[in-house]
Structure 1
């Protein structure tokens, strides 16, 4: 049995890694503790495994490009009175090897064996368009 599990989520509206950085820098994307969080309707059933070292892998324009470690899950009550799940994230964005991903709704679990590797800090390539990064990954260049 795996000791942890990850989740993968579409980064809707983001065209690049820089868009994600900008969005998470905005006060509306941060919780009361100042940490970035993503509010989702569903609460992960595999909470214990997720909080045992799991990350949220972001899909930007059809490609997993980055991950953030999940720190905790907070209840977040909306103005409509509905309690949702606030996925509290480590502010560090860890770039990964590009991995193409088909569109899906919500989030999905991602086994550690299926997750893309982290890129070294000196890998560069922040400015590659996601489609080009995906094409290079598919032919084994990145």
Structure 2
């Protein structure tokens, strides 16, 4: 069974702003990736079909398939880890999640389901208001 990760998407407001950032990274580097210091001990389980789940503004909002995990060096020669990501960002049912540092393994039983074709987050409400109502359990 593939292993998933969870990570805060710092600096993004919505899944759409994450897509814009990643599109620029793909133009600049030819691939979408997230770079971090720690290398996962369970690499093979992750690249066997696992995803990285993105926490945006306190909510798990989207996921991306992790296609590879490689070691690279930064500009100062320090060893870094690069999670190579699929270009498709899959929206998931929003779920609250507290802030944390770095990335974490994400247990299968905690993973929110993907949004299906007939699912919608469109509430005819401003996104900030819809998210606040979701946090309160009213939507």
Q: Contact 1:29–1:38 (CA<8 Å) still a contact in 2?
A: no
| Structure 2 segments unaligned to the other structure (5+ residues) | none
| Structure 1 segments unaligned to the other structure (5+ residues) | none
Pairwise CA RMSD of aligned residues?
Answer: 2.3
TM-score normalised over the length of structure 1: 0.85
Partner of 1:104: 100
Q: Confirm or deny that 1:94 pairs with 2:90.
A: yes
C-alpha deviations, 1:26-50, integer Å up to 9, x for none?
137864xx22100011011111111
C-alpha displacement of 1:140: 7.1
Aligned match of 1:115 in 96, 111, 115?
A: 111
Partner of 1:139: 137
* Count of aligned positions: 137
Q: Where in structure 1 do 4 or more consecutive aligned residues deviate above 6 Å? A: none
C-alpha displacement of 1:118: 0.2
Aligned partners of 2:37 and 2:129: how far apart in 1?
Answer: 29
Aligned match of 1:15 in 2, 13, 16?
A: 13
Aligned partners of 1:131 and 1:43: how far apart in 2?
Answer: 38
C-alpha deviations, 1:57-115, integer Å up to 9, x for none?
00000000000000000212111101111000010000000010001000111011110
Aligned match of 2:40 in 40, 44, 60?
A: 44
Aligned partners of 1:128 and 1:83: how far apart in 2?
Answer: 42
Where do 1:60-75 residues align within 5 Å? 60-75=56-71
